[in-house]
């Protein structure tokens, strides 16, 4: 169970960074990078929705929360990169 939550955090972080880093690197616009981090949380919602509707599973708020935590970590990375450049 603990391993599953770690996978959700890593997935949320990975998805958010894959979407947000190119947005931020291309525009150097902080808000473009931060809004793009929502992709991680959206992916978590879609995953839980498909588990609930199609795979016979149930919506797991803990899984969704862990995926959103990963997306928040991506926000921290974008903020650190933005303010580190000076």
Q: Give me the number of domains the chain comprises.
A: 1
- Structure-model confidence comparison of residues 31 and 86, the more confident one: 31
What confidence tier does 75 reach under pLDDT thresholds 50, 70, 90? very high
Q: What is the pTM of this model?
A: 0.87
pLDDT tens, residue by residue, 15-34: 999 999 999 999 988 888 88
Q: Which two tokens stand for residue 5?
A: 């939550």
| 57 backbone dihedrals φ, ψ, rounded to 5° | -85, -170
If you compute the radius of gyration of the chain from its CA atoms, what whole number of angstroms results?
Answer: 14
85 versus 8: the higher-pLDDT residue is 8
Alpha carbons 68 and 30: distance in angstroms, whole number: 19
Section 62-69 average pLDDT: 93
Check residue 54 and give its pLDDT. Answer: 80
């Amino acid at each position: 169970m603990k391993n599953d939550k770690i996978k959700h955090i890593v997935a949320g972080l990975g998805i958010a960074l894959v979407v947000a880093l190119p947005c931020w690197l291309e525009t150097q616009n902080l808000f473009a990078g931060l809004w793009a981090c929502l992709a991680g949380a959206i992916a978590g919602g879609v995953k839980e929705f498909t588990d609930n509707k199609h795979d016979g599973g149930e919506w797991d708020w803990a899984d969704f929360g862990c995926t959103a935590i990963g997306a928040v970590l991506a926000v921290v990375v974008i903020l650190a990169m933005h303010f580190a450049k000076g």
